[in-house]
Structure 1
Amino acid sequence: MESWQYQFRNLMTDGELCFDGEDYEAERLLFQDASKLIPDPKRDHEEATQAIGAIADCFYKLRECAKAQAALNDILLCPGGASNPFIRLRRGQVFHQLGDPEKARTGLTTAFLNGGSEVFDGETEYLELISDVVSQLGRE
């Protein structure tokens, strides 16, 4: 492991501690500091997926959905970002909050297809938005 990766992990851990305390702004700043440690091209590193996903989650929790959407768009180009069920769930939620029901359904459906109903734990209202899709898949 390279030295930047140790620093990265420490900052990410500190950010997660802030998240547990619901200090999303402090968390976001730590995650952004962690992302700055990733060498260019950032999108070639798995750590970028982790950092950008965490930053997007902070923006979502802070109800800054336009910023969350920008981060979630970037993460699709990072390793594992496009297939990550949690990322797809957040994308669907953000599009729903921004008033784009078609993109919301696409994101939520992709989350369900990649992670099943477990990814919606605690987020049942979003699972209800695609209940027709879920019931159709249960019949096949």
Structure 2
Amino acid sequence: MTPQLSDSTHAEIKALCKQGDDLVHGGDLDAARQKYIAALRLLPKNHKEWEAATWIYVAIGDTHFRSGTFDKAFKCFFNAVQCPKGFGNPYIHLRLGQLYFEQSNFEKAADELTRAYMGGGLNIFMEDDPKYLGFLETKIEI
């Protein structure tokens, strides 16, 4: 069973993440990332045991992905997949697949992108560069 945060900590984390989301929508990825990192720091020790860590790592990872800092994005999504409800999450597998692709690790990219497709369908690929779907189409029948 996943532990529960106190109501006040949960509210503070949600507020910081909302501020981060607003900054992302405004195009300020660096400031958004700082809000998400502040939220992550509010989690108790062994933060990977907390479900909130999953979506905070995804948020931080997305700011890095959008900035093109793929090495840092990879670390975030690699952490997210190890947190509660991370493994099997199609979006996390999509990003991991894209990041493995960017590292030229095509075997792992195909595996992760297949997981994303199986869990999220074709639509999960529609907001990103079509090169990832094009690559997957060379590996599996879509």
Give the TM-score normalised by structure 1.
0.90
Q: How high is the sequence identity, in percent, across the aligned residues? A: 29
5+ residue gaps, structure 1: none
Q: Is 2:126 the partner of 1:121? A: yes
Residue 7 of structure 1 deviates from its aligned partner by 0.4
Structure 2 distance, partners of 1:128, 1:74, is 27
Residue 41 of structure 1 deviates from its aligned partner by 2.0
1:9-60 Cα shifts (integer Å, max 9, x gaps):
0000000001111211111111000111111221121100010111111111
> Paired residue for 1:36, among 41, 44, 48?
41
5+ residue gaps, structure 2: 1-5
Question: After TM superposition, what 4+ stretches of structure 1 lie above 4 angstroms from structure 2?
Answer: none
Structure 2 distance, partners of 1:128, 1:93, is 12
Structure 2 distance, partners of 1:134, 1:18, is 37
Give the TM-score normalised by structure 2.
0.89
Q: Is 2:113 the partner of 1:108? A: yes
1:122 partner letter: E
The Cα RMSD (Å) is: 1.4
